[in-house]
């Protein structure tokens, strides 16, 4: 990690067999029927992390170049 990098909690929205999930630290946290529902959950979790003083970001497994920091 570069000297100026900030460690962030990463919440990843990923496609699963029957829907979508939010992953964090290698674990599936939530399951949803739509990507939009999973994205909303990841956003709530990232905001809660940020409000607790821990920077967070959201990544999308189907868009590897996209990352949204909080």
pLDDT at 1: 46
Sorted by where each begins, the domain ranges of the chain are 9-62
Question: pLDDT by residue (tens digit) across 21-60?
Answer: 999 999 999 899 999 999 999 999 999 999 999 999 999 8
Inter-residue contact 24 to 42 (CB < 8 Å): no
Write down the pLDDT at residue 63: 72
| pTM (2 d.p.) | 0.79
CA distance 43 to 35: 12
């Amino acid at each position: 990690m570069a000297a100026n990098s900030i460690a962030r909690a990463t919440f990843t929205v990923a496609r699963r067999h029957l829907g979508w999930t939010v992953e964090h630290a290698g674990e599936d946290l939530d399951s949803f029927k739509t990507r939009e529902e999973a994205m909303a959950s990841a956003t709530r979790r990232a905001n809660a992390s940020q409000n607790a003083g821990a920077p967070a970001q959201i990544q999308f497994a189907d868009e590897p170049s996209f990352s949204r920091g909080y």
